[in-house]
Amino acid sequence: MTPYPSISDKPVAISSRLAARIRRSRDRLPRAWLHEPLLHFLVLGTALFLAWPFIADRVVSRANQIVISQGQMQRLVERFQRTHLRPPSPDELAGLVEDDIRSEVYYREGIALGLDRGDEIIRRRVVQKLEFMTQDIAAQGAPTDAELLRYLEGHGGDFGAEDEIAFSQIYLNPDRHGAALSRDADRLLARLNAGDGRLNYGADSDVLPVPNDFEAQPLHVIAGIFGDDFAAAIAADPPGRWIGPIRSGYGLHLVLVRERRRGSPPQLSQVRDAVLREWQSAHQVESNQQAYRQMRAKYAIKIEPAALPGAARSAAQ
């Protein structure tokens, strides 16, 4: 027969089980905390807070960094000095820097919102800055004397090697002659070449705000007055005979080439500075064109047909 535990044994048994449970819970407590997400968050947050000053520059995106360089600071100081004739105080400099940061922040936020799109002024300014940048790159190289000599030989007319022509011209005003302009020009040309060479500008020539008689002038000067086609026409004809009619921006002309003087090319030593300026200008233009061609090659260009006005569209059909 199994004896029943006495009443006096129950407290002892309960106390033993409770003590064992407490010991087991106490042993499990550290291991449970190690798996607690909150603990992980606190440890990682603390570590990141302590390490952030040392890794911020490498972690933060460059697009979100605003760096005020020493060069920018110097420009701010110089600008202040030009206006106030003294250097800025520390507080004033801090204000200038903050204004610069504000401007950069607003600029970046505006770009992010697309406020630069569709603005022709901003578009032109960006294009201008890019062209200036390519010009600066082109200006870094100095030409050799051989390059300058080749340029002089190819553009001798710009440096005194151009032919000079002395000529007379009779002007026929299209508004005055109307439909008879060509007929009147042909009749007058035949009479001038058949006559004794005496001229009556008052009767034969319409009024024009340039002389009828020109002493020897370089071709580029003649082209500047009457146009390239006019200059090319009188340069190709021999002296001593009236030619025409030759068209200019004014109307029609009959022209007598009286004398042609052949230009002689100058020595490079005589015009070196002028040749250098022209070479640099042409080199910058070519560099801009080359840079544009390289940039353009990166894009697929699609030009849609222009929408014609109603009348033009009907005529085209």
Which of 194, 212, 216 is CA-nearest to residue 204?
212
Residue 63's φ and ψ, nearest 5 degrees, are: -65, -25
Instruction: Read off the pLDDT of each residue in 144-172 and give the average, rounded to a whole number.
Output: 80
The structure tokens listed for 10 are 């129950």
pLDDT value at 208 more than 50: yes
- Residue for token digits 């004397």? 145
Instruction: Read off the pLDDT of each residue in 110-125 and give the average, rounded to a whole number.
Output: 85
pLDDT value at 280 more than 90: no
pLDDT value at 79 more than 70: yes
The terminus-to-terminus CA distance of the chain in angstroms comes to 124
**Which one has a higher pLDDT value, 256 or 312?**
256
**Which one has a higher pLDDT value, 134 or 223?**
223
Q: Are 156 and 193 in contact (CB under 8 A)?
A: no
pLDDT of residue 7: 47
**Which one has a higher pLDDT value, 14 or 105?**
105
pLDDT of residue 192: 86
pLDDT of residue 111: 84
pLDDT value at 157 more than 70: no
3-state secondary structure of 1: coil
Per-residue pLDDT band for 201 (boundaries 50, 70, 90) equals confident
Per-residue pLDDT band for 312 (boundaries 50, 70, 90) equals very low
DSSP β-bridge partners for residue 168: 213, 256
Give whichever of 112-121, 155-164, 180-189, 269-278 has the largest mean pLDDT: 180-189
**Which one has a higher pLDDT value, 17 or 77?**
77
> How are strands ordered across the β-sheet holding 242-247?
213-218, 164-172, 252-261, 242-247
pLDDT of residue 269: 72
Q: Are 273 and 148 in contact (CB under 8 A)?
A: no
